[in-house]
Amino acid sequence: MRTEQVNEMIADITRQLLQKRSSDGVWRGGLSSSAISTSVAIFALYQIDSDTYEPYIRKGAGWLKKTMRADGSCGDSVESPSNMTATLLSYASLYAVDIPPHETETYLKERLGGNTDEDIVQGVLSYYGKDLTFSVPILVMCALTGVITHWDRIPQLPFELSVLPQRLFRFLRLPVVSYAIPALIAVGILRYKKGKRDFLSSVRESFIGKSLRVLEKLQPSHGGFLEAAPLTAFVSMCMSGAGFREHAVTQKAAQFLIKTVRPDGAWPIDTDLSCWVTSLSIKALGEDLEDKTFFIERIKRNAFAFRHPFTGAKEGGWGWSDLPGSVPDADDTSGALVALHVLTGGTYSEEVGKGVEWLLALQNEDGGMPTFCKGWGKLPFDRSSPDISAHSLLAFELWQDALPKELRVKCRRSIRGLLGWMWKIQSSDGSWTPLWFGDQDAKDERSPVYGTAMAVEYLSTSRNPLARKLAENGLRYLLDSQNEDGGWGGAPKVASKITLTARALSALASYPESDLKSMERGFDYLYGMYQSGLLFRPEPIGLYFARLWYSEELYNHTFVLNALKKLKQRIK
């Protein structure tokens, strides 16, 4: 192993990562601009007040046209392959506010098998399946823009159910995921108003005012639901279309959109992932990080100190950002707990105890860990996730000896449940498939390499014999999935990615008995990218809500640095 080259890369990436801290001292990263976010944002502003927001609409439309491919298609990010969703939303937006390229219509006609209402509705619904979280808002926007001329084929969302207590939602088998209640309300009300009246219409009408009051309570102070331009725009365009243009929710949403637009006229998929990328940076930098006291205080301050109105989650968790639209989730809570352990050397605090309790309360009955809400297992993005489960297990393992006795006992019980679930769902080839990361080059767009690498890295710290067995199975899968060039893609024989190679290398270097030759080949791939100046090229491996792809500039820095630090330790 070429120690000199490892040290060279560590020094350079450390320097660059430290320089990327924002003016307020943390890392905010840089999410890719999004055709989906931009198309729905400019149409929402067009619906709300086309004259007032004309400069934003014009500039956003210009960005969409400029970034389209020659065949008129779009991907979720500029680097992403073209897909139906991004292209359809861009087409619908331009259909309303500008003139869409003829090539875009041709592309969609080929992808959907035609351009009739039936072709579009069936094409969208079949792509997203039973999960209506994104498919119905897409179809509603198509109807508002005039791309679809009839509303009767668009499914109705049961907005009335939003008035029930949050604790009942997981039992109702709603057709949308746990984080999409604002869309359930706004899209549902608009679809109801555009539909035919029946004997239940007066009953449904009586729920509109109550549902809108729920929507107001769910909206953050600055107007942006989940810090997400797509969700905020879908809600506001539907509110406007339903006759609530002047409603406080609509106007606050419009202000959020104009405050988060980029200078080139585009919107990212979310404002930022500041808490997440800060945790990743702390873990990657380790002892090379100064200002530890600053980060300890900042992370503790970012823990939610109240029951969150959006998901009903108790206090103690962390979200992906320190901005008002973020909500607590298991991955970011685990990440914050791991970062605090790195920063404090394992010194217990009240925030640590509450964070552990928050995770324990979230754990599903099946033993696995979901992202946001317990028990919402009907739709994929609400189910237990292997990489998140393993991340929670790592947080428990790191902190359990420092916890009060009663909490320590609960942690050990939870660890047994997590490992039992991971054993049950591990594939016969040793892999696990994650929820929130993928690979667009893979046939099914999944990334078992990412899910397995994260699980193996996290499991490697466990003292439990079952964890060791699971990790060994996962390692075999990773070794079998390595490409000829030494790198890894999201699955066997898929083109190598810098980010995924770094994750796989971290996993191998975390495990004492892993193959040194495979690690050398993985490092050679990364070093080749480093020498050629390609190490930090954007790679859209992140999966946002409802299968929207994004890249984050700090993933390359933090993933690679984490891998190199582990590799250096292994060489020693």
Assess if CATH 1.50.10.20 describes domain 1-28+428-571: yes
Does 546 have pLDDT greater than 60? Answer: no
pLDDT at 129: 84
Q: How far are the Cα atoms of 141, 319, 349, 416, 520 from residue 405, in angstroms, in the given order?
A: 54, 27, 14, 17, 43
Extended strands (E) in 473-546 = 542-544
In angstroms, the CA 208 to CA 421 distance is 41
Give me the sign of the Cα torsion angle 270, 546, 224, 329: negative
Does 545 have pLDDT greater than 80? Answer: no
What would the pLDDT profile of 133-187 be if each residue is shown by its tens digit?
Answer: 889 999 999 999 999 999 999 999 889 988 988 776 666 666 666 678 899 999 9
Q: How far are the Cα atoms of 70, 342, 474, 480, 487 from residue 493, in angstroms, in the given order?
A: 29, 36, 17, 10, 10
Helix 553-571 × helix 274-285 angle, to 10°: 20
Query: 84-87: long-range contacts at Cβ-Cβ below 8 A with a sequence spacing of 24 or more?
Result: 84/108, 84/111, 84/112, 84/123, 84/124, 84/127, 85/36, 85/124, 85/127, 85/134, 85/138, 85/548, 86/35, 86/36, 86/39, 87/111
What would the pLDDT profile of 366-408 be if each residue is shown by its tens digit?
Answer: 999 999 888 765 666 678 999 999 999 999 999 999 999 999 9
Q: Where in the chain is the domain with CATH 1.50.10.20?
A: 1-28+428-571, 31-266, 271-424
HSE-CB at 401 with a 13 A cutoff on CA atoms is: 9
Nearest to 559 by CA among 422, 457, 478: 457
Provide the CATH topology of domain 31-266: Glycosyltransferase (1.50.10)
| Distance, first Cα to last Cα, the chain | 11
Q: What percent of the chain has pLDDT over 90?
A: 84
pLDDT category at 203 given cuts 50, 70, 90 is confident
What would the pLDDT profile of 31-70 be if each residue is shown by its tens digit?
Answer: 999 999 999 999 999 999 999 999 999 999 999 999 999 9
Q: Which residue has the higher pLDDT, 234 or 170?
A: 234
For the chain, the average pLDDT equals 94
- Other residues' Cβ atoms within 10 Å of the Cβ of residue 149: 9
Average pLDDT over residues 526-536: 98
Q: Which CATH architecture has domain 271-424?
A: Alpha/alpha barrel (1.50)
This prediction has a pTM of 0.95
**CB 387, CB 450: distance < 8 Å:** yes
In angstroms, the CA 106 to CA 89 distance is 14
What would the pLDDT profile of 420-472 be if each residue is shown by its tens digit?
Answer: 999 999 999 999 999 899 999 998 899 999 999 999 999 998 989 999 999 99
Nearest to 283 by CA among 25, 566, 488, 504: 566
Q: How far is CA 272 from the centre of its chain?
A: 11
